[in-house]
């Protein structure tokens, strides 16, 4: 067994173009302060930067790193370290994946480092993860299947018996918890260095202001990605999130990201008398009772609404009444939930005006009414819209005016509006032009705005409870790129103070 392992180590080094020096723990690199739940970096207690690798990690390198701890006589300890990594299973996986520091089994997925995949997608360098709440937690690095039956695999793991490379029944030993296959988002082959047009990616802005890596959303069936022109997202009271997407086929798709980071996969929504709902625009709102409300502009140009119940069933799409017409024709829609159980809708009618209405808790609607334009003159003409409910019962709206710039205003609890005011642009520009916008409210009373600027990149800013703004800043791009080009953006606030963003890439 020793000679086989030694031979394998040599082969891995040759395949990866490595020198013998890489068989030791990876050298420390300069880095900014990071969250330190385990005390190995001085315990700064906040995320200054995520524990990311410097670049895409080759799969041969992952296995070489895993092999480098074999035969060292390391003792398993959740408080011990070898180099800068903790000497337990998750510290071992963090080392193999070349992270800046050790995570634990419960943080690989929430921090955007790993993604749940299917059994048939497993490749060398992926892992089997037990991160179930209340479990002891464990992670095993996947090497290869032992034979074509795929009932067992060669895996690297750090256990109380030491670091081992051996055959393991899939997914793991009986009665040891629930294991699921996962992939490091920065492993070669799990992402490209660029995104295809309209490809959906998701990431999280943590409550302290740092961002997790992007995750490509899986497509329908065996499709590796989801591509489409429109998206929306809503953060639910239980910590889950619901995402809508319009695919390149024109159908409306829905999926859920559970609070533990697992995705349900996209599924089509039923249409009005048709097997699927075809639409040009979508919006979704989370409600305090755990339901969600969805809007879609159908291929006939009408706005349709339905509710997803807490059971997971849907009420079915029904058209909204227009202004003196039986249906509301619109170009854009947005919806938000309020703490009192009501919801508020914005729409841009076919006349280009912005309209607002409320859905009361008994399911009735107040009817659409136009919003006043700049300085109270006429009706507000707009190209894009967004609306967010705040904990105090107010709502904040953003629109792009006829000049393409972003304007913001607040609907007070009295029902009156403060009037639209232009937002400052990026890097000292007096105005912020946007091709897509979104807004969300946070539990602390702040709001966050996301926008695609006139350079095609995604920008983000915060509105504080004082009414001041942080100013727009570019959001770091995908695969360590300095900026993220986007076509459509959506953002939602979560109960833990984080916000989730979905972008249809440019």
Would you say residue 419 lies in a domain? yes
Burial category of 326 from C-beta neighbours within 10 Å (exposed 0-12, middle 13-18, buried 19 and up): exposed
- Please report the pLDDT score of residue 29 as a whole number: 30
Contact 167, 154 (CB under 8 A): yes
- Please report the pLDDT score of residue 479 as a whole number: 62
Burial category of 391 from C-beta neighbours within 10 Å (exposed 0-12, middle 13-18, buried 19 and up): middle
**CATH code at 270?**
2.120.10.70
- Please report the pLDDT score of residue 12 as a whole number: 34
Domain interval for residue 457: 215-468+477-505
Would you say residue 55 lies in a domain? yes
Spatial CB neighbours of 184, under 8 Å, sequence gap ≥ 6: 57, 62, 97, 113, 114, 125, 126, 127, 190
458 and 315 part of one domain: yes
Would you say residue 365 lies in a domain? yes
409 and 275 part of one domain: yes
What do you get for the CA distance between the two ends of the chain, in Å?
51
259 and 134 part of one domain: no
Would you say residue 255 lies in a domain? yes
Domain count, the chain: 2
Spatial CB neighbours of 391, under 8 Å, sequence gap ≥ 6: 339, 441, 443, 445
- Please report the pLDDT score of residue 254 as a whole number: 98
CA atoms within 13 A on the CB side of 98: 22
**At 22, phi and psi to the nearest 5?**
-75, -5
Token readout for 120 is 């048939």
Would you say residue 24 lies in a domain? yes
144 and 228 part of one domain: no
Name the residue among 208, 203, 187, 202 with its Cα closest to residue 33.
208
pLDDT of the chain, 506 residues: tens digit per residue: 223 333 333 333 323 332 222 223 333 332 222 222 222 222 222 223 445 554 567 888 899 999 999 999 999 999 999 999 999 999 999 999 988 889 899 888 877 788 888 898 899 999 999 998 878 899 999 999 999 999 999 999 999 999 999 999 999 999 899 999 998 876 655 545 568 899 999 989 989 888 877 778 889 887 878 999 999 999 999 999 999 999 999 999 999 999 878 789 999 999 999 999 999 999 999 999 999 999 999 999 999 999 999 999 999 999 999 999 999 999 999 999 999 999 999 999 999 999 999 999 999 999 999 999 999 889 999 999 999 999 999 999 999 999 999 999 999 999 999 999 999 999 999 999 999 999 999 999 999 999 999 999 999 999 999 999 999 999 988 766 788 999 999 999 999 999 999 999 99
39 and 160 part of one domain: yes
359 and 488 part of one domain: yes
Token readout for 266 is 């996209």
284 and 378 part of one domain: yes
17 and 149 part of one domain: yes
């Amino acid at each position: 067994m020793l000679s086989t392992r030694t031979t394998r180590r040599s082969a891995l080094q040759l395949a990866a173009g490595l020198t013998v020096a890489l068989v030791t723990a990876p050298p420390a690199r300069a880095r900014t302060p990071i969250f330190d739940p385990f005390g190995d970096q001085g315990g700064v207690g906040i995320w200054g930067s995520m524990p990311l690798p410097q670049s895409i990690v080759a799969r041969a390198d992952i296995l070489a790193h895993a092999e480098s701890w074999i035969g060292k006589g390391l003792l398993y300890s959740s408080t011990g370290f070898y180099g800068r990594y903790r000497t337990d299973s998750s510290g071992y996986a963090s080392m193999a994946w070349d992270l800046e520091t050790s995570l634990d089994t419960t943080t690989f997925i929430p921090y955007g480092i790993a993604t749940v995949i299917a059994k048939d997608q497993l490749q060398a360098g992926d892992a089997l993860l037990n991160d179930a709440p209340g479990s002891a937690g464990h992670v095993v690095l996947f090497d290869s299947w032992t034979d074509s039956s795929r009932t067992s695999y060669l895996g690297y793991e750090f256990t109380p018996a030491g670091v081992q490379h051996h055959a393991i029944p899939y997914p793991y030993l009986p009665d040891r918890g629930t294991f699921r296959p996962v992939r490091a988002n920065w492993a070669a082959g799990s992402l490209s260095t660029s995104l295809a047009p309209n490809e959906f990616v998701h990431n999280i802005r943590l409550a302290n202001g740092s961002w997790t890596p992007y995750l490509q959303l899986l497509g329908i069936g065996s499709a590796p990605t989801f591509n489409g022109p429109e998206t929306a997202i809503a953060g639910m009271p239980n910590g889950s999130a619901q995402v809508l997407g319009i695919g390149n086929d024109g159908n409306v798709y829905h999926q859920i990201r559970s609070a533990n980071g697992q995705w349900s996969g996209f599924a089509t929504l039923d249409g009005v008398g048709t097997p699927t709902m075809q639409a040009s625009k979508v919006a979704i709102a989370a409600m305090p009772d755990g339901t969600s409300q969805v809007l879609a502009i159908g291929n006939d140009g009408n706005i349709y609404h339905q509710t997803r119940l807490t059971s997971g069933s849907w009420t079915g799409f029904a058209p909204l009444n227009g202004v003196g017409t039986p249906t509301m024709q619109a170009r854009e829609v947005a919806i938000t939930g309020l703490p009192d159980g009501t919801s508020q809708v914005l729409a841009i009618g076919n006349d280009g005006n912005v309209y607002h209405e409320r859905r009361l808790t008994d399911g009735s609607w107040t009817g659409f009414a136009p919003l006043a334009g700049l300085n109270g003159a006429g009706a507000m003409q707009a190209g894009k819209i967004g609306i967010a409910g705040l904990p105090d019962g107010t709502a904040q709206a953003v629109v792009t005016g006829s000049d393409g710039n972003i304007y913001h205003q607040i609907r007070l609890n009295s029902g009156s509006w403060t009037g639209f005011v232009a937002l400052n642009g990026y890097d000292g520009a007096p105005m912020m032009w946007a091709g897509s916008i979104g807004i969300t409210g946070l539990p602390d009373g702040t709001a966050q705005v996301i926008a695609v600027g006139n350079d095609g990149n995604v920008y983000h800013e915060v509105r504080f409870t004082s009414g001041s703004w942080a100013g727009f800043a570019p959001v770091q791009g995908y695969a360590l790129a300095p900026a993220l080009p986007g076509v459509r953006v959506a953002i939602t606030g979560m109960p833990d103070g984080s916000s989730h963003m979905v972008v249809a890439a440019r």
